């Protein structure tokens, strides 16, 4: 089902802009704008997940602590 709404175009410096009504807000920080046969289409770019964000972090230059399990009970035998 198609839904439409008349919106106001305005100038933001040298750019033309559009206000997106609150109930049509995109769940994204970025969007792709496509122009085909005089029709503009706004496609939200999905936010990156946690793994993508973690991949952007610089590695820590801190040695990993020496961890032992000497004070832990032995594991149960899953075959028993």
Digitized pLDDT (tens) for each residue of the chain, 80 residues in all? 578 889 999 999 999 999 999 999 998 889 999 999 999 999 998 888 888 888 889 998 999 888 888 888 888 888 86
pLDDT in the model for residue 67: 86
Q: Is residue 62 part of a domain?
A: no
Q: What residue spans of 18-80 are helical by DSSP H?
A: 50-55
Q: Is residue 40 part of a domain?
A: yes
Q: Is residue 1 part of a domain?
A: no
Cβ(43)–Cβ(35) under 8 Å?
Answer: no
- CA atoms of 9 and 18, how far apart (whole Å): 5
pLDDT in the model for residue 28: 87
> What is the domain extent for residue 20?
9-55
Q: Is residue 15 part of a domain?
A: yes
Q: How many domains does the chain have?
A: 1
Q: Is residue 64 part of a domain?
A: no
pLDDT in the model for residue 36: 95
- CA atoms of 56 and 61, how far apart (whole Å): 15
* Residue 32, SS3 per DSSP: strand
pLDDT in the model for residue 39: 93
* Residue 62, SS3 per DSSP: coil
């Amino acid at each position: 089902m198609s839904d439409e709404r008349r919106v106001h175009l305005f100038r933001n410096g040298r750019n033309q802009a559009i206000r997106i009504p609150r109930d049509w807000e995109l769940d994204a920080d970025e969007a792709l704008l496509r122009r085909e046969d005089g029709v503009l289409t706004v496609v939200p770019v999905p936010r990156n997940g946690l793994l993508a964000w973690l991949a952007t972090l610089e590695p820590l230059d801190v040695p990993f602590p020496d961890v032992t399990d000497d004070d832990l009970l032995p594991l149960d035998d899953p075959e028993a």
